[in-house]
């Protein structure tokens, strides 16, 4: 009798754990940033950067080479998908410029900000250089006086405004600077155009949320 009671306790505990995980999160990966089951971008009014939606307002402090401060109005919330792993891009208007905050949840939330995008030719790089890189390359590039080390290459899909019913495929190459303070991502889109993003990681303490959406 005691044996069967123990089995029932174990089963009940396991079911309770699964219910908790399903409703309250944990586990990282795409499920923490998307609604479970639907795959749609998660919506919450908790004051966190991953919950920002158009109309929301937040600030960034001490970012970029000049340690600038920005007050940002959200104008877009986009989704990237690579083989089922999803991450967010919060597009913002900082008054004098656009910026993009990327949010990934891979065991823990990682946030970076892109303050500048440029055409490939503006950086001095060529399409041939990028297309010649393979995953096994230990390669460095000199861009605007900085040395960048090749980190990764992959393919993903961009869903503007989080619309998962339509998307645009692209190939990306990721690089990290010598001082590990700046990353450069080169993207080749389906129409053959190339774009470079210059980004830096930011801490949660550098972000202040004023409202997550225009109606919140």
* DSSP character string of the chain: -HHHHHHHHHHHHHHHHHHHHHHH--S-SGGGTB-TTT-PBP---SSSGGG--TT-EEEEEEETTTTEEEEEEEEEEEEEEETTEEEEEEEEE-SSSEEEEEEEEESEEEEEEEEEEEEGGGGT--HHHHHH--TT---EEEETTEEEEEEEEEEEEEEGGG-TTS-EEEEEEEEEETTSS-EEEEEEETTS-EEEEEEEEE-GGGEEEEESSTT-
The residue with greater pLDDT, 52 or 6, is 52
Bridge partners of 211, per DSSP, are: 57
| Residue 131: per-residue pLDDT | 86
More confident residue, 216 or 133: 133
* Minimum mean pLDDT range among 5-9, 83-87, 148-152, 196-200: 5-9
Query: Which pLDDT score is estimated for 103?
Result: 96
pLDDT of 67 above 70: yes
What pLDDT score does 31 carry? Answer: 43
Lowest mean per-residue pLDDT among 19-23, 42-46, 79-83, 206-210: 19-23
For residue 119, what pLDDT is reported?
Answer: 95
Tell me what pLDDT residue 41 has. 53
Q: 52: exposed, middle or buried (C-beta count within 10 Å: 0-12, 13-18, 19+)?
A: buried
Q: Give the pLDDT score at 138.
A: 78
Burial code of 153-166, b = ≥16 C-beta within 10 A, e = fewer?
eeebbbbeebeeee
Gap between the Cα atoms of 162 and 7, Å rounded: 44
Q: What is the predicted pLDDT for the residue at 132? A: 85
Does residue 50 carry a pLDDT above 80? yes
CA 75 to chain centre: 16
pLDDT band at 36 (very low <50, low <70, confident <90, very high): very low
Q: Which residues have a Cβ under 8 Å from the Cβ of 51 and sit 6 or more positions away?
A: 42, 43, 44, 45, 212
């Amino acid at each position: 009798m005691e044996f069967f009671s123990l089995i029932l306790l174990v089963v009940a505990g396991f079911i309770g754990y699964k219910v908790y995980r399903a409703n309250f999160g944990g586990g990282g990966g795409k499920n923490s940033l998307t609604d479970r089951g639907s795959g749609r971008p998660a919506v919450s009014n908790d004051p966190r950067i991953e919950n920002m939606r158009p109309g929301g307002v937040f600030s960034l402090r001490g970012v970029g080479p000049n340690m600038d401060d920005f007050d940002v109005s959200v104008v877009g919330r986009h989704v990237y998908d690579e083989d089922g792993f999803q991450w967010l891009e919060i597009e913002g208007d900082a008054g004098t410029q656009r910026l993009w905050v990327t949010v990934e949840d891979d065991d823990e939330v990682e946030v970076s900000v892109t303050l500048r995008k440029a055409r490939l030719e503006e950086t001095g790089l060529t399409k041939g250089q990028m297309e010649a890189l393979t995953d096994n390359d230990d390669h460095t590039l000199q861009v605007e006086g900085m040395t960048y080390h090749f980190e990764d290459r992959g393919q993903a899909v961009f869903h503007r405004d989080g619309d998962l019913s339509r998307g645009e495929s692209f190939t990306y190459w990721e690089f990290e600077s010598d001082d590990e303070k700046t990353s450069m991502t080169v993207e080749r889109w389906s129409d053959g155009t190339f774009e470079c993003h210059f980004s830096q990681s930011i801490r949660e303490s550098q972000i202040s949320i004023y409202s997550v959406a225009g109606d919140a």
